[in-house]
Amino acid sequence: MKETKTLGVLGGIGPLASVYFTDLIVNMTEAEKDQEHLPLFMYNDVFIPDRTDYILGKSDVNPLPYIVEGIGILEKVGCDYAAMTCNTAHYFYDEIQKSVNIPVINMVEAAVEYAKEQISSVRKIGILATDGTVKSGVYEKVIKKHGLECEVPSDENQKEVMNIIYNQVKAGNKVNLYGFMNIIEELRDKGCDAIILGCTELSVINKDFNLSMESHDIIDAMQALARKCITLCGKKIKE
């Protein structure tokens, strides 16, 4: 039997998404009793500076040292793997991995791989994410590495994506689901075979409205990360 590894989760980025991620880990693991679940440490560091603001030059406070320190804490308590509940933080992925001694499971890679697994004929992937993730090309680089095309919303719709992320989900306000689905429809009209929810706040919307269950072209990056974490730590996915 494969040895079970301990997962460390750097959360707080954002807090609601982090709670959802641990919920995914529990509910997606094949287990019939407590002892068959995955051992997990969560460090909910809400003081990590905004990643998008730094990437776009709106803030000079670099989140990288905070992220490295957080994963270092998880490493010290004995975690074998680490995961971050923030897509935008993967802008710093290479530097983070060089600075810590445990593997950091890459959510962006996991999401693109899962899209290819779920939709074998996929050719073009649409990305819904923060301005920091979109403009830095975090997803675009990985998608092109896999030989696929990448598409993002129009400027007007990208502003609405940011509004949904920051002023609705993060702020704890009601989500404009109609507007959100119109943005998804725009990406479909642009020829996208798959649409990745590349922000963990958008994953919360998926949880609340079961979007990926009803539309199989919608790929939740956080669900993809949870699947990767479970298997790498030696457990099976509950089908």
Instruction: Report the catalytic residues.
Output: 86, 199
The closest of 7, 24, 10, 27 to 197, measured between CA atoms, is 24
Structural tokens at position 106: 């890459």
Determine how β-strand 124-128 pairs with β-strand 194-197: parallel
Positive or negative, the CA dihedral 66, 100, 87, 94 is positive
Residues constituting the chain: 239
Place of tokens 């298997």: 231
CA distance 107 to 75: 19
The CA–CA distances, whole Å, from 77 to 40, 69, 71 equal 11, 13, 10
Of 131, 146, 25, the closest CA to residue 88 belongs to: 131
Dist CA 193 CA 126 (whole Å): 8
d(CA 10, CA 229): 13
